[in-house]
Structure 1
Amino acid sequence: MNQNFLQLNQDKTEVIVFGNKEKRTAISKHLESLSLKTRDQVRNLGVLIDSDSTFSSHIKSITKTAFYHLKNISRVKGFLSQTDQEKLIHAFISTRVLTRTKRSEHITPVLKSLHWLPVSYRIYFKVLLLVYKSLNGLGPEYMNDILVEYKPSRALRCTDLGQIVKPRVQTKHGEAAFSCYAAQNWNKLPAELKSAPTVSIFKSKLKTLLFSCAYD
């Protein structure tokens, strides 16, 4: 590190080893001989990362924080209008505090009455909105290398459909990658939706389409 003009701050640096337990133990002992104590979990940019890569600690932390805020909202709901309550609860993707729905009751009718998309369709919405912004020069620059517009070598019927290239993958994990997942869902959209002139129009039409798919 000294050769690269770097210095390790013992008070601020946390060391974690990933891999199976046996290899982690061996590496940890070697690092301890170098006065580097390893940890089972560390925090980086607010994310708790564990040595098993399960993110169980991070999930527990988020869940605990979410329930804390939901309880606080429940306490002050009598002082808020229905619209303000919807905005607050919608931020946590939850409706039970707002509508007093029991855990044993089906949540789909409640979501439909509030005109909220289920979580899975909300994910579609976020991903497809990111693709639209990227293709129209409104997204982050690094997305340009991930989302490549399909341009056939000769004129085809699909030329004007706004398709993007779907990378070839050989495993299910590869299909879950953003580049593959985004291309697969974007290419299924109607051409008139993909060619929406503005972000607001695209969002409105996309939500209408997903709402119909979710509840009809």
Structure 2
Amino acid sequence: MEKHVNTVCRSAYHQLRNTGRIRKYLTTDATKTLVNCLVTSKLDYCNSLLFGIPKLTVNKLQRVQNTAARINTKTPRHDHITPVLKELHWLPICQRIDYKVLLYTYKALHGQCPQYIIDLLCVYRPARDLRSSSSLTLLVPRTRTVTFGNRSFSHAAPRLWNALPESVRNAQTLNAFKRQLKTHLFRSYNVE
């Protein structure tokens, strides 16, 4: 995935350079729209495939997001970026990837995904009646290889899903799930 990440970064930096050149002529809202259309959309496109890639590769994408935030808010280069990302309500790249995987998981469990994605997940059903029987948990399959097996959707999705609080997993609608999931991820980011 390194070649893909490098291509995304190169394209995003090109757009950011162009946006930076005209930033003084743009309003904050116009800049926000421009950055979301030209840069954030590139970072989010197919990012669920990036689950489990090396931290070094993820950091390249994180630097792009940091640059986008700096241009968006006119933050100087040497200022700390975490408060700026929190102010913009932007999740870090690692959590954006988790968000996308969990979103597909929710859709699959509620029949809103193609059948081939639904077939990758298996709901855990205990042999006897337990208190945890009412919570919607997924069976995490064993994998043969750590490098690629643990990155597969059928392994990563149940692991992330089971780590979510029960209140988030039991959201009634897709919009409620998105809202609660982003809040949960944002709070866990603030703890770190």
Which residue number corresponds to residue 26 of structure 1? none
- 1:84 to partner: Cα distance: 3.5
Structure 1: gaps of 5 or more residues: 1-53
- 1:59 to partner: Cα distance: 4.0
Q: In 1, are the aligned partners of 2:28 and 2:73 still within 8 Å (CA)? A: no
3-state SS of 2:163 partner? coil
Task: Return 109-118 or 81-90, whichever deviates more.
Answer: 81-90
Establish whether residue 181 from structure 1 lines up as the match of residue 127 from structure 2: no
Distance 1:213 1:59, change over 3 A: closer
Structure 2-normalised TM-score? 0.75
Which residue number corresponds to residue 9 of structure 2? 63
**Aligned-pair Cα RMSD in Å:** 2.1
Which residue number corresponds to residue 203 of structure 1? 178
Establish whether residue 85 from structure 1 lines up as the match of residue 6 from structure 2: no
Distance 1:161 1:100, change over 3 A: same
Establish whether residue 141 from structure 1 lines up as the match of residue 87 from structure 2: no
The amino acid of 2:152's aligned partner reads A
Task: Return 66-75 or 127-136, whichever deviates more.
Answer: 66-75
The amino acid of 1:155's aligned partner reads D
Which residue number corresponds to residue 136 of structure 2? 162
Which residue number corresponds to residue 168 of structure 2? 193
Residues in 1 aligned to 2:151 and 2:111: alpha-carbon distance in whole angstroms: 25
- 1:74 to partner: Cα distance: 2.1
- 1:75 to partner: Cα distance: 3.1
Give aligned-pair identity as a percent. 38
Deviation per CA, 1:30-67, whole angstroms, max 9, x where unpaired? xxxxxxxxxxxxxxxxxxxxxxxx743x4443332212
User: Where is the helix percentage greater, Structure 1 or Structure 2?
Assistant: 2
Structure 2: gaps of 5 or more residues: 44-64
Residues in 2 aligned to 1:70 and 1:140: alpha-carbon distance in whole angstroms: 35
The number of residue pairs the alignment matches comes to: 162
